[in-house]
Amino acid sequence: MMSKGKKFFMYAFLTIFSLLSIFPLYYMLCAATNKSIDVIAGRLIPGTYLIENYKSLIANQNLGLALWNSFRNALVLTVLCLLVCSIAGYGFEIYHDKGKDAVFTVLLTAMMIPFAAVMIPMFRMFSSLNMVNTMAAFMLPSISTPFMIMMFRQASRSFPHDIIEAARIDGLSELAIFFRMFFPTMRSTYAAAMTIVFMNAWNNYLWPKVILMTNESITMPMLVANLLGGYTVDYGMLMLGVFICTIPTAIVFFCLQKSFAEGITGAVK
């Protein structure tokens, strides 16, 4: 049993660090409701300038288009990435082949290559294929990632192989085994992967900025970057844009946080 003194210090420690963790969000919310001059002055009390900041934001940037593009890109990319990476991870673990480990080693090695090192070659490749300013060029580099494949491969190790053999004897096809048996069992892993992929897709800035060159392709990270592009920066409007950009990822994480923790630890139900 933990003594009262230890409990007090433990809860005090957790409370202090919890407050420190949520302080940036609180500051961002306060800044979104204040004038730019108040933000510069470091005011930490919510103001009454939220509507004016919102009007300035929609007057300077196409907020609706940026939200639509970000939602569409993130949702489509999340679905495709989960499908491709889960099948690849499942295949690497379930099917045995001599060259499988060599291919997986190459995938793991690719994790050590920074994106900036391959960005220019990828742009030249897509440019030569006349795929600049297309959704395909935006999504193809992120549909399959070594980290997601490794995550699903690790999860597949906890999937009972005896069930697969029994299903094969009963006449189920390999796709039926995957979608009817593996997929429902790995819900927590899919939830964790969905959280990671959606957040990465939503916050992706560099590659969309390079490959999508039209104003109609603007996303929320690009919109926030545009707010910093003038000679003077309206920090109240900027913080409102950042806050709006943060809301979807926060909602996804809080809705899936329990499954996220289970999926990361490899729990299977």
| pLDDT single digits (tens) 73-82 | 999 999 999 9
The model's pLDDT over 190-207, given as tens digits with 9 standing for 90+, comes to 888 999 999 999 999 989
The model's pLDDT over 55-96, given as tens digits with 9 standing for 90+, comes to 999 998 899 999 999 999 999 999 999 999 999 888 888 887
Q: What is the mean pLDDT of the chain?
A: 86
Residue 264 has a pLDDT of 65
Q: Which two tokens stand for residue 254?
A: 């809080």
d(CA 235, CA 40): 8
The model's pLDDT over 130-140, given as tens digits with 9 standing for 90+, comes to 988 888 888 88
| pLDDT exceeds cutoff 60 at 239 | yes
| pLDDT exceeds cutoff 60 at 210 | yes
144 and 84 Cβ atoms separated by less than 8 Å: yes
Residue 54 has a pLDDT of 93
Residue 268 has a pLDDT of 45
The model's pLDDT over 250-264, given as tens digits with 9 standing for 90+, comes to 898 888 877 766 666
40 and 235 Cβ atoms separated by less than 8 Å: yes
CA distances from 227 to 12, 88, 222 (A): 39, 40, 9
Q: What is the mean pLDDT of residues 9-17?
A: 87
d(CA 75, CA 201): 8
Residue 74 has a pLDDT of 93
3-state secondary structure the chain: CCCHHHHHHHHHHHHHHHHHHHHHHHHHHHHHCCCHHHHHCCCCCCCCCHHHHHHHHHHHCCHHHHHHHHHHHHHHHHHHHHHHHHHHHHHHHHCCCCCHHHHHHHHHHHCCCCHHHHHHHHHHHHHHCCCCCCHHHHHHHHHCCHHHHHHHHHHHCCCCHHHHHHHHHCCCCHHHHHHHHHHHHCHHHHHHHHHHHHHHHHHCCHHHHHHCCCHHHCCHHHHHHHCCCCCCCCHHHHHHHHHHHHHHHHHHHHHHHHHHHHHHCCCCC
CA dihedral 200, 203, 209, 212 (to 10 degrees): 70
d(CA 205, CA 210): 9
